[in-house]
Amino acid sequence: MKPISIPTLPTFTDVQAAQARIQAHVQRTPAVEIAEINQRLKAEIVFKYENLQVTGSFKFRGALNGILSLSDRQRQNGVAAHSSGNHGLALAQVARQFNIPCTIVVPHNAPLKKRNKLEQSGAKIIFCEPTLAAREQALQAVVAATEATEIHSSNHPDIIAGAGSVALELLAEVPDLDAIVAPVGGGGLLSGVSLVAAAQETPVQVFGAEPMGADDARCSLQAGRIIRKPAQTVADGLRSALGELTFGIIRQKVTDILLVSDEDILANLRWFYRATGVMVEPSAAIALGAIARHSSRFVGRKVGVILSGGNVDADLF
Amino acid sequence: MKPISIPTLPTFTDVQAAQARIQAHVQRTPAVEIAEINQRLKAEIVFKYENLQVTGSFKFRGALNGILSLSDRQRQNGVAAHSSGNHGLALAQVARQFNIPCTIVVPHNAPLKKRNKLEQSGAKIIFCEPTLAAREQALQAVVAATEATEIHSSNHPDIIAGAGSVALELLAEVPDLDAIVAPVGGGGLLSGVSLVAAAQETPVQVFGAEPMGADDARCSLQAGRIIRKPAQTVADGLRSALGELTFGIIRQKVTDILLVSDEDILANLRWFYRATGVMVEPSAAIALGAIARHSSRFVGRKVGVILSGGNVDADLF
């Protein structure tokens, strides 16, 4: 009989340790309310601008935590990952900062802005076909050749704990949130945030915002096991699938997964831009889209929204 | 013989007092470097995102400081100002927060976004012709009718001291700046920033960025007295003129005023937007324009840039 693998899930304590480890290097991003948005949604929405984080997304937090947790030997051999963009940018930046070799495998259909930034990041960039299989295969080849340590973009304890630090910061500034909405792709951000939210004296609800065309998290929660399915969505950062760590946390701690159509993602991206002058990427706008689309669940409440990233092609529309 | 009027200029101590007074209410805005911009300008540029300040500009700082310094009697009678937008929005927001009557006189050619926001601000809005004379005349009528206290948008000790708090925040986060570049219209921001910069142990240079079509500050400094001249520029927030307080400080403490054409303002606004996804208003983009246009003065240096505001019509281009 095949033994059941029981992964050790990261905990709230790991998030606290991550924050202590990384806080000297991360940007403390602002938490901002927008009157026009509050009025229309009849709720008090606090946006956490992780699009202004170093490298333009929350991924910098996990990358820092991952690399700062390596042994000297591991640092020597370097790090590697596959990424549609933001995780790769974050890892490359941290690696450069600490003078560590870094290789990123990138699907050739990643947004132009992300590809351009990656090519300037100092990391070694390898393009591949835009399938999970192709990404993993290329990465395994890199790891075999270089003995680099793989740092997965979401299903990795350090990445989850690092991402969770965004919720620690947000709740330190706005302690009376009723709920937090975060996008879900691989689930690193959502699981990290939910570790923090569940540990509050008065637990804070956590909702995942997921593209209709990439609803593996919602299907996995309903099935009680990880479901893999093809992903098709404009939110390029949310095409990846849950892993056993992120699934394990999300099934325990997340209130619900809310689906949002690509049309709604883009409409809310435009709305946010018109209200603030700030363009976030589709994978971030989806969290506002989830509130607008499922507004009855948020009316009259105080809700944090993680604007996860801002690396979007400026000519999107 | 007419007596010479010697106004009492606000000091660095006033800026420190203002910060203590307002800090519980202001957004601590982020200070961010953009790799692409650093590379192109061969300098280390730290952008202070006051476009994310409450009401979308640094003006909220001075408005808070002004209103929090009023007597009970003055609060009862309310406040009034003329403004092309940002000062009015800030004053209206603070007045609403503290339940104080507020009237704003606005030129009818203010940007649509600013007019719309003002009409929703809860303040009484009076539109007037877009000349300084018409603005002052309408405001005098309001003050005569209501006994409201006028809070000038720039030439007012509390406004200057409040605006200066942005430099305290920036230098607390990035103490080793060589210089700071701030836009100059009425000069409230530039004079407040220069009070702080000059008080550092190693004084920090301060440059004003001024539109070529509204170069009264540069002309005034050269003439040694306040010169008023017609203003024509896309930077709607910079059409106002220096007053005796702001002129008095700027002539003592500012290193130089750098002129920027409207074409350069818009080119740098677009560049910043493409690099970051963040759209600032022309009156803010001018500071980046000043560095790009006068780049030899900044090569190899660490320079703070105050992005003063983000209230721009989204369809500007």
What pLDDT, in 10s, does the model give residues B184-209?
999 999 999 999 999 999 999 999 99
- CATH architecture of the domain covering A12-57+156-307: 3-Layer(aba) Sandwich (3.40)
Matching CATH topology for A12-57+156-307 and A60-150? yes
Q: Residue A126: its pLDDT value, please? A: 95
Buried b / exposed e over B17-37, threshold 16 CB at 10 Å, is bbbebbeebbbebbbbebeeb
Within 8 A of A52 by CB-CB distance, chain B residues are: 30, 32, 49, 278
Structure tokens at B85: 């937008």
Cβ partners under 8 Å of residue A297, min gap 6: A207, A258
Residue A280 touches chain B, beta carbons under 8 Å: yes
Q: Residue B316: its pLDDT value, please? A: 62
> Which CATH class for the B60-150 domain?
alpha beta
Can you tell me whether residue B84 is helix, strand or coil?
Answer: coil
Using CB atoms, which residue from A27, A35, A310 is nearest to B276?
A310
Query: Stretch A260-288: mean pLDDT, rounded?
Result: 95
In the beta sheet, which residues pair with residue B180? B206, B304
Given a cut of 80, is residue A313 above it in pLDDT?
A: no
Within 8 A of B279 by CB-CB distance, chain A residues are: 273, 277-279
Given a cut of 60, is residue A159 above it in pLDDT?
A: yes
Q: Which chain B residue is nearest to residue A28, measuring alpha carbons?
A: B30
pLDDT band per the 50, 70, 90 thresholds, residue A131 = confident
Domain locations in chain A as residue ranges: 12-57+156-307, 60-150
Using CB atoms, which residue from A27, A117, A278 is nearest to B30?
A27
Given a cut of 70, is residue A291 above it in pLDDT?
A: yes
Helix/strand/coil (H/E/C) assignment for every residue in A7-65 = CCCCCHHHHHHHHHHHCCCCCCCCEEECHHHHHHHCCEEEEEEHHHCHHHECHHHHHHH
Q: Residue A111: its pLDDT value, please? A: 87
Q: Are B123 and B99 in contact (CB under 8 A)?
A: no
pLDDT tens digits along A13-54: 999 999 999 999 999 899 999 988 999 999 999 999 999 999
Q: Residue B137: its pLDDT value, please? A: 94
Residue B277 touches chain A, beta carbons under 8 Å: yes
Give the rounded percent of residues in chain A with a pLDDT score beyond 90.
85
Within 8 A of A36 by CB-CB distance, chain B residues are: 120
What's the distance, Cα to Cα, between the start and end of chain B in Å?
54
Query: Stretch A176-196: mean pLDDT, rounded?
Result: 98
pLDDT band per the 50, 70, 90 thresholds, residue A71 = very high
Q: Which chain B residue is nearest to residue A271, measuring alpha carbons?
A: B314
Q: Which residue reads 């409207």 in tokens?
A: B262
Cβ pair B30:A35 closer than 8 A: no
B 50-69 residues inside an 8 A Cβ radius of A: 51-52, 56
Q: Are B308 and B90 in contact (CB under 8 A)?
A: no
Question: Number of residue pairs across A and B with CB atoms under 8 Å?
Answer: 62
Cβ pair B36:A278 closer than 8 A: no
Q: What is the pTM of this model?
A: 0.85
Within 8 A of A279 by CB-CB distance, chain B residues are: 273, 277-279
Q: Residue A2: its pLDDT value, please? A: 54
- pLDDT beneath 50: ranges in chain B: none
What is this model's ipTM? 0.75
A 89-148 residues inside an 8 A Cβ radius of B: 117, 120
Q: Residue A242: its pLDDT value, please? A: 96
Given a cut of 70, is residue A117 above it in pLDDT?
A: yes
